[in-house]
Amino acid sequence: VSTSTRIVVPGPQPYEVVIGEGLLGGSELPQMLGDDAHRVLVVHPGALRSTGARIRDDLERAGYQAVTAQVPDGEQAKTATVAASLWGVLGRAGFTRTDAVLGIGGGATTDLAGFVAASWLRGVRVVQVPTTLAAMVDAAVGGKTGINTIEGKNLVGAFHPPAGVVCDLRTLRTLPREDFVAGLAEVVKCGLVADPQILALVEADPSGVTAWQAPSTRELVERSVRVKADVVGRDLHESGPREVLNYGHTLGHAVEQVEQYSWRHGAAVSVGLVFAAELARLAGRLPAPVAQRHRQVLAALGLPTTYRQDRWDELLAAMRRDKKSRGTLLRFVVLDDVGRPARLEGPDPELLRAAYSELA
Ligand SMILES: NC(=O)c1ccc[n+]([C@@H]2O[C@H](COP(=O)([O-])OP(=O)(O)OC[C@H]3O[C@@H](n4cnc5c(N)ncnc54)[C@H](O)[C@@H]3O)[C@@H](O)[C@H]2O)c1
Ligand SMILES: [Zn+2]
């Protein structure tokens, strides 16, 4: 049995992200839930039904009163209707301020579980068990929670850091390979903005790392979580350093919208990363070989690095609507080099268009 890795996310209430294999049946979850909690709501999607039931049984054996609540898979769970149904479960089961919520699933499930925990009695403890690569390295760490409305994604939410996060790599065994690869786009993003060793690991065996059993998966998760923990620890509310995690996301989010969310998030981010690299290169900031390295590493993983050339007006309009843009100025995270992120505000429209043409 290999030992697990513990990464502390600093902040007003520091918490641990534990990474390893076979962590769900042991003492990790009870330790994070704490002795004060009597009741635990285990929120899971259909895809994690049996794991959710197993966790409930383990928690019952550990002395908790545990109930499961199955929610729709993926984004369908992030609605006010689903959140209200969970508040109903909590109310009927008499959950008090010291009781807890446990979210197990992808980022959609952990966002929902976190939001329900943030809002129940103005905030109860939540423990997150991410089961997609994207959720392990991104969504479940950092304390952002939320749901969608008809008008847009993540419009309702709260900052509510978890009491702990357990990344059990074995939960990835049932994840479709395309979803795992999409998660690798976020891993590459972490490498580009902060940790060149991540890029080296991926470049050493790009097709190998597309399988969760790859020997480097654990190190890739650990390094990416460290990047996120470091940034989040310095900036919970996303005004300063945390913005670097948005690298590739300004155009990426626009692609998701133009494609009406039929693309995986990671695939759209992959295109967005190439765009941001070309933007920085054309602005005379990023050396051409580093821009080329973006394309090579993403393409080697099977992620898209080009985009149709007849959508610029829609992409631009979508970028202007992005809630992270301030006023009418478009803001981009760009790189001066690997590991040297910077901000580019209000770039020349011609430059933006030229970067888009590089996606041909
Ligand atoms: N809070 C944050 O900081 C943050 C950051 C990034 C993304 N997000 C959010 O995360 C969500 C995307 O998360 P995601 O990419 O993890 O996708 P997801 O949660 O939508 O999961 C994708 C699909 O895989 C299923 N699934 C999850 N784990 C599985 C497993 N181990 N085996 C088989 N199937 C499994 C899910 O039920 C779902 O159907 C979005 O809603 C996004 O807004 C939040
Ligand atoms: Zn992302």
State the residue for tokens 């494609």.
Answer: 259
Tokens linked to 320: 């202007």
Q: How far is the CA of 134 from the centre of ligand 2 (A)?
A: 8
* Annotation says 324 is catalytic: no
pLDDT at residue number 236: 62
Which position among 249, 264, 293, 295 bears the catalytic label?
A: 249
pLDDT digits (tens, 9 = 90+) for 119-150: 999 999 999 999 999 999 999 999 999 999 99
Q: Is 74 in the pocket of ligand 1 (CB under 6 A)?
A: yes
Q: Is 108 in the pocket of ligand 1 (CB under 6 A)?
A: yes
Is the per-residue pLDDT at 328 higher than 90? no
Q: Who's near 158: CB < 8 A, 6+ residues apart?
A: 114, 115, 118, 119, 145, 146
* Annotation says 246 is catalytic: yes
pLDDT at residue number 233: 84
d(CA 112, CA 199) in angstroms, rounded, equals: 32
Is the per-residue pLDDT at 2 higher than 70? no
Q: What atom in ligand 1 is closest to the CA of residue 109?
A: 19
Is the per-residue pLDDT at 1 higher than 60? no
The pLDDT-based confidence of 234 (bands split at 50, 70, 90) is confident
The greatest distance separating any two alpha carbons of the chain, rounded to the nearest whole angstrom, comes to 63
The pLDDT-based confidence of 241 (bands split at 50, 70, 90) is confident
H/E stretch holding 331 reads strand 331-337
Q: Rounded to two decimals, what is the model's pTM?
A: 0.97
Ligand nearest to the CA of 228: 1
Over range 321-337, report the average pLDDT.
83
Q: Who's near 105: CB < 8 A, 6+ residues apart?
A: 43, 44, 45, 47, 48, 71, 113, 129, 130, 131, 132, 135
Ligand nearest to the CA of 153: 1
Tokens linked to 20: 């390893």
pLDDT at residue number 323: 65
pLDDT at residue number 326: 63
Over range 249-254, report the average pLDDT.
97
Is the per-residue pLDDT at 325 higher than 70? no
Over range 289-295, report the average pLDDT.
98
Q: What atom in ligand 1 is closest to the CA of residue 114?
A: 1
Is the per-residue pLDDT at 324 higher than 70? no
CB count in 10 Å sphere of residue 207: 10
Tell me which residue has its CA closest to atom 40 in ligand 1: 108
